[in-house]
Amino acid sequence: MGDTLSFEEWLVPHKEASWLIHVSTEAMSSDGILPGDIAILERGRDPRQGDIVIARVDEQTVIRRYEIQNGHPTLVSTNPAFPVLYFDERTELLGVVATIIRKYK
């Protein structure tokens, strides 16, 4: 028999680097992330193609999918109402989303 994993270890695998943030956008609704959800993000980790990330762009905090398009890192939404955001030197990556929590009670 293997050892058991606590819910906490499972949801927050890297505790020292994990943070919480409220989601307030429809931008990721096709990915199943809705306004009111809570994201657990990990800081200090480099994003990979397809990761959902939290970033700071033009004084705004956004949640998007990280994609390299034609060699440029971009932040994309699956909702066509939201334009593609291109990384520049002012873009700050706050973290990679590890877990989304929607708690009803």
Q: By CB under 8 A, what part of segment 9-68 binds other proteins?
A: 12, 15-25, 27, 38-40, 43-44, 54, 56, 59-63
Q: Return the structure tokens found at 101.
A: 């929590």
Q: Return the structure tokens found at 83.
A: 């334009």
Question: Closest approach of Cβ 97 to other proteins, in Å?
Answer: 9
Note whether 84 binds other proteins by CB under 8 A.
no
Side-by-side strand order, sheet with 60-69: 38-42, 92-101, 52-57, 60-69, 72-76, 85-86
CB atoms within 10 A of CB 62: 19
Question: Closest approach of Cβ 14 to other proteins, in Å?
Answer: 8
Instruction: Name the residue nearer to other proteins (CB basis): 3 or 16.
Output: 16
Note whether 7 binds other proteins by CB under 8 A.
no
Closest CA to 39 of 80, 95, 86, 78: 95
Instruction: Name the residue nearer to other proteins (CB basis): 1 or 83.
Output: 83
Position 40: which residue type? I
Which residues of this chain interact with other proteins, rule CB under 8 A?
A: 12, 15-25, 27, 38-40, 43-44, 54, 56, 59-63, 92, 94, 103-105
